């Protein structure tokens, strides 16, 4: 494997005038175990080294670009386990801490180009990392010198000979380990196993005039293929506290590198690194919801049986509820990856909240998978779109959305889908009107919304597969049977059933109450009026239009209430769930000169998009 970069030199020349004899003697300075040459000394001519970082741009050839596992991203794969789902994917989106500047080609003061890297976004190289700078003859056949440095230290200069052209090579293991020296005729190094080998090279011509400093910015390249295994719990909305992790199927290789050319010769044998919970570190030190472990290989054969096993994963939901996933049986995620030298590949395992599959079908005859609780928005946080940890009746202002709004208590001019923003983006969506056939009787369309519990009606149009909850410890609700997801040990009964609590809705207004999002639960409940405790209402994602039976601009929704039959005006029979799709008019109002869609404020319940 050959790496191209910038070329440098490190001849240290010393001219000593012996006053007593008038004789001129030459001498050379030598680093321990480093090859050097005798040269004339020209005081003040130096290479000034600056480590810019690691190039994280992916260099993909056409064959690699066409490979699904090596492109920037791949389609999400969802697999269900006993108590959680996992969305897995393979991509090149390995996180890194970037430098503050874009690395570009620059000229030094003498007009000589010392860095050939162009428009690169570089990752920061931590302080305390060792690297060795080798200086060779311009044709790379003679080793002039080598010297080891440490990032973050001072004195990173090398004396050189004016007018000379050199090839330079920088090598590091991205840690504090010492880097071996080389000698003319022996420029190969056996690299250690499972290290982030960094390499770059180039050439540099020193100005003929003595005393000129030549700047040498160094941007390293990954020599091996880097595999990043990421565990992410943002899809269960909390931090990971502990767990048991193992990884199998990693048949990795080290290599011998020819320092002069950058060519890699992979070893014939393989090794398997030991990876456990302690191998993972936080991607962002402030959060425990995304952890990553790295392995490195010089092999390029497909690793078709990589398996990440996770058990007893303890997570604390942002609402303060503790859950453990993978206790009954391990969560095993499989990958197949073809490593590419110099590239980084991410094996991502998103731990996500599992869904509840309704017994009823959509209007098109497909199954509908519902979230276990309503959506809410936590403004100013890293992961703002969340499902409540506990499914219960509540009047939380952050869970009431206008039609098409991406944030609560705001009208919008351009309808969007807040469910699609739940991490990982695209896994969930707002239901369409057709999806509500799975939790309604599928007949009719209400254009006027009911306003009270126990409305006396003639026909018993009970919603199939439904039951009621009246005055329970967690509130009033409509519940539906499910065919999958209802026996999850990580959740309680309220979340193990498709249960829609009667949180009500805020009547349509042109201007929302001042400071609505800061109101406490009681104040919001008062604004909701009689609908709180008597109605479960949700939006549908259908685009506004002229709905059946409605003129002007309208859209769909869902309404569930508890009803009772009457005979000659006298209540009779048991109470039941009456759930219908609704049609609702939208109004255009002007806010700050922008026309927006005014609507009621309802809860949002999400369904699976894939």
Residue 552 has a pLDDT of: 53
Residue 40 has a pLDDT of: 36
Residue 22 has a pLDDT of: 35
* pLDDT beyond 70 at 194: yes
Residue 31 has a pLDDT of: 35
Between 97-106, 222-231, 478-487, 508-517, the lowest mean confidence (pLDDT) is in: 97-106
Residue 29 has a pLDDT of: 33
* pLDDT beyond 50 at 521: yes
Between 117-131, 434-448, 482-496, 572-586, the lowest mean confidence (pLDDT) is in: 434-448
Residue 238 has a pLDDT of: 98
* pLDDT beyond 60 at 170: yes
* pLDDT beyond 60 at 117: no
32-56 mean pLDDT: 65
Please provide the average confidence, as pLDDT, over all residues in the chain: 84
Percentage of residues of the chain with pLDDT beyond 70: 80
Query: What is the token pair recorded at 208?
Result: 């003929």
415-443 mean pLDDT: 93
Residue 547 has a pLDDT of: 56
State pTM to two decimals: 0.84
Question: Sign of the C-alpha dihedral, residues 234, 235, 238, 239?
Answer: negative
Residue 104 has a pLDDT of: 41
| pLDDT-based confidence at residue 119 (cuts at 50, 70, 90) | low
11-18 mean pLDDT: 30
* pLDDT beyond 90 at 425: yes
| pLDDT-based confidence at residue 492 (cuts at 50, 70, 90) | very high
Question: How far apart (Å, rounded) are the C-alpha atoms in residues 39 and 164?
Answer: 11
| pLDDT-based confidence at residue 596 (cuts at 50, 70, 90) | low
* pLDDT beyond 50 at 3: no
Q: Which helix (H) or strand (E) holds 521?
A: helix 521-528
Residue 444 has a pLDDT of: 54
| pLDDT-based confidence at residue 595 (cuts at 50, 70, 90) | low
Torsion angle of C-alpha atoms 399, 400, 405, 411, degrees rounded to 10: -140
Percentage of residues of the chain with pLDDT beyond 90: 67
Between 84-88, 258-262, 393-397, 586-590, the lowest mean confidence (pLDDT) is in: 586-590
| pLDDT-based confidence at residue 11 (cuts at 50, 70, 90) | very low
Q: What long-range pairs does 589-594 form, CB within 8 A, spacing at least 24?
A: 589/411, 589/510, 591/411, 594/413
* pLDDT beyond 70 at 443: no
Of residues 584 and 127, more confidently modeled: 127
296-316 mean pLDDT: 98
Residue 32 has a pLDDT of: 34
340-360 mean pLDDT: 97
Pairing of strands 143-150, 331-337: unpaired
Of residues 10 and 466, more confidently modeled: 466
Q: Is 20 exposed, middle or buried (0-12, 13-18, 19+ CB in 10 A)?
A: exposed
Residue 169 has a pLDDT of: 98
Residue 209 has a pLDDT of: 87
In this predicted model, what pLDDT tens digit does every residue of 352-399 receive, in sequence order? 999 999 999 998 999 999 999 999 999 999 999 999 999 999 999 999
Residue 441 has a pLDDT of: 79
Residue 509 has a pLDDT of: 72
Bridge partners (DSSP) of residue 25 are: 16
Contact present, 467 and 607 (Cβ < 8 Å):
no
Structural domains in the chain, sorted by start: 13-56+97-222 (2.60.40), 62-93+224-352 (no CATH), 356-608 (no CATH)
Q: Pick the closest to residue 536 from 568, 495, 582 (CA basis).
A: 582
Q: According to the per-residue pLDDT averaged within each range, which of 39-48, 304-313, 583-592 is highest? A: 304-313
Residue 160 has a pLDDT of: 92
Of residues 511 and 538, more confidently modeled: 538
DSSP class of 6 = B
Contact present, 479 and 466 (Cβ < 8 Å):
yes
Of residues 275 and 22, more confidently modeled: 275
Written as one string, the DSSP assignment of 81-135 is: -SS-EEEEEEES-----EEEEEE--EE-TTS-EEE---SEEEEPPPTT-EEEEEE
* pLDDT beyond 90 at 571: no
Q: Is 188 exposed, middle or buried (0-12, 13-18, 19+ CB in 10 A)?
A: middle
Cα–Cα distances (Å) from 510 to 396, 398, 448, 449, in that order, read 21, 19, 19, 19
* pLDDT beyond 90 at 6: no
338-347 mean pLDDT: 97
238-252 mean pLDDT: 98
In this predicted model, what pLDDT tens digit does every residue of 69-111 receive, in sequence order? 334 456 788 999 999 999 999 999 998 887 644 444 333 333 3
Q: Pick the closest to residue 394 from 244, 259, 500 (CA basis).
A: 500
Between 184-193, 322-331, 577-586, the lowest mean confidence (pLDDT) is in: 577-586
* pLDDT beyond 50 at 114: no
Residues 6+ apart with CB under 8 A from 445: 547, 548, 549, 580, 581, 582, 583
């Amino acid at each position: 494997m050959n790496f191209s970069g910038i070329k440098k030199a490190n001849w240290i020349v010393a001219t000593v005038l012996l006053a007593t004899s008038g004789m001129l003697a030459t001498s050379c300075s030598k680093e321990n175990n480093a090859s050097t040459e005798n040269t004339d000394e020209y005081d003040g001519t130096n290479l000034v080294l600056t480590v810019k970082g690691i190039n994280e741009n992916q260099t993909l050839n056409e064959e690699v670009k066409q490979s699904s596992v090596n492109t920037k991203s791949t389609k999400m794969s969802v697999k269900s386990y006993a108590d959680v789902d996992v969305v897995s994917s393979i991509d090149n989106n390995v996180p890194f801490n970037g430098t503050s500047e874009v690395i570009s080609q620059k000229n030094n003061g003498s007009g000589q180009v010392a860095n050939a890297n162009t428009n690169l976004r570089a990752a920061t190289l931590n302080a305390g990392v060792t690297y060795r700078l080798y200086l060779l003859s311009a044709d790379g056949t003679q080793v002039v010198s080598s010297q080891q440095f440490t990032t973050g230290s001072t004195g990173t200069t090398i004396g050189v000979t004016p007018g000379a052209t050199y090839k330079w090579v920088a090598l590091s293991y991205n840690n504090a380990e010492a880097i071996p020296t080389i000698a003319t005729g022996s420029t190969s190094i056996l690299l250690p196993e499972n290290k982030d080998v960094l390499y770059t090279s180039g050439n540099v011509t020193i100005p003929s005039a003595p005393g000129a400093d030549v700047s040498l910015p160094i941007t390293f390249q990954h020599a091996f293929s880097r595999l990043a295994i990421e565990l992410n719990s943002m899809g269960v909305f909390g931090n990971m506290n502990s767990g048991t992790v193992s990884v199998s199927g990693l048949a990795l290789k080290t290599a011998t590198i020819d320092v002069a050319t950058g060519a890699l010769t992979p070893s014939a044998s393989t090794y398997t690194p030991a990876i456990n919970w302690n191998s993972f570190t936080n991607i962002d030190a402030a959060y425990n919801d995304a952890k990553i472990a790295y392995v490195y290989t010089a092999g390029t054969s497909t690793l078709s049986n990589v398996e990440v096993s996770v058990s007893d994963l303890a997570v604390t939901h942002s609402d303060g509820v503790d859950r453990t996933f993978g206790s009954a049986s391990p969560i095993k995620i499989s990958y197949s990856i073809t490593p590419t030298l110099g590239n980084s590949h991410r094996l991502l395992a998103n731990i996500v909240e599992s869904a509840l599959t309704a017994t009823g079908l959509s209007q098109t005859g497909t199954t509908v998978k519902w979230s276990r609780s309503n959506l809410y928005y936590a403004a100013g946080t890293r992961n703002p779109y969340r499902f409540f940890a506990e499914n219960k009746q509540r009047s939380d202002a952050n869970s009431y959305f206008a039609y098409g709004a991406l944030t609560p208590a705001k009208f919008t001019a351009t309808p969007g889908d807040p469910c699609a923003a739940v991490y990982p983006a695209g896994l969930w969506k707002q239901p369409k009107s057709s999806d509500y056939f799975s939790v309604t009787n599928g007949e009719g369309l209400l254009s006027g919304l009911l306003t009270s519990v126990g409305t006396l009606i003639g026909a018993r149009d009970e919603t199939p597969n439904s039951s009621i909850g009246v005055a329970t410890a967690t509130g009033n609700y409509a519940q539906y049977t499910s065919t999958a997801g209802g026996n999850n040990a990580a959740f309680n009964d309220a979340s193990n059933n498709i249960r829609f609590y009667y949180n009500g809705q805020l009547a349509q207004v042109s201007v929302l109450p001042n400071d609505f999002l800061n109101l406490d639960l009681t104040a919001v409940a008062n604004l909701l009026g009689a609908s709180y405790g008597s109605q479960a209402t949700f939006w549908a994602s259908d685009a506004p239009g002229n709905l059946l039976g409605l003129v002007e601009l309208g859209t769909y929704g869902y309404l569930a209430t508890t009803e009772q039959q009457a005979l000659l005006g006298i209540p009779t029979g048991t109470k039941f769930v009456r759930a219908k799709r609704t049609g609702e008019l939208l109004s255009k109002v002007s806010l700050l000169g922008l026309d927006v869609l005014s609507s009621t404020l309802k809860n949002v319940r999400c369904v699976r998009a894939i």
